[in-house]
Amino acid sequence: MIVPCIDLMGGKVVQLVQGREKALEGDAPLAMLEKFRAFPEIQVIDLDAAIGSGDNATIVSSLASRAKCRIGGGVRTAERARALIDQGAQRVIVGTAAFTSAIEQIAATIGPDRIMIALDSKNGKIAVKGWREQIDLTAEQAIAKLEPYCRGFLCTYVDKEGMMQGTDLDWFRRLRAATGHEITAAGGITTMEEIRELSAMRIDVALGMAIYTGRLDLKTLSEL
- Per-residue pLDDT averaged across 107-130, rounded? 94
Contact, 157 vs 188, CB < 8 A?
yes
pLDDT for the residue numbered 98: 96
| Helices and strands in the chain: count of H runs, count of E runs | 10, 12
124 CB-contact burial (10 Å; exposed 0-12 / middle 13-18 / buried 19+): exposed
pLDDT band, residue 39 (cuts 50/70/90): very high
pLDDT for the residue numbered 224: 84
Given a cut of 70, is residue 70 above it in pLDDT? yes
pLDDT for the residue numbered 131: 79
pLDDT digits (tens, 9 = 90+) for 194-223: 999 999 999 999 999 999 999 999 999 998
pLDDT for the residue numbered 130: 79
Distance in angstroms between the alpha carbons of the first and the last residue of the chain: 8
pLDDT for the residue numbered 163: 65
The H or E element spanning position 204 is strand 204-207
Contact, 85 vs 110, CB < 8 A?
yes
Helix axes 169-178, 139-146, angle to 10 degrees: 30
Q: Which residue has the higher pLDDT, 159 or 20?
A: 159
pLDDT digits (tens, 9 = 90+) for 125-184: 998 887 788 999 999 999 999 999 999 999 999 887 766 778 999 999 999 999 999 999
Amino acid symbol at 197: E
pLDDT above 90: percentage of residues in the chain: 83
Domain spans in the chain, listed from the N-terminal domain onward: 2-222
Catalytic residues: 7, 120
Contact, 185 vs 172, CB < 8 A?
yes
pTM of the model: 0.94
State the alpha helices, DSSP H only, in the chain: 29-35, 47-51, 57-64, 78-87, 102-110, 139-146, 169-178, 192-200, 209-212, 218-222
pLDDT for the residue numbered 82: 97
Thinking of the domain 2-222, which architecture would CATH place it in?
Alpha-Beta Barrel (3.20)
Helix, strand, coil abundance in the chain, percent, nearest 5: 40, 30, 35
For 85, phi then psi, to 5°, come to -60, -45
pLDDT for the residue numbered 165: 77
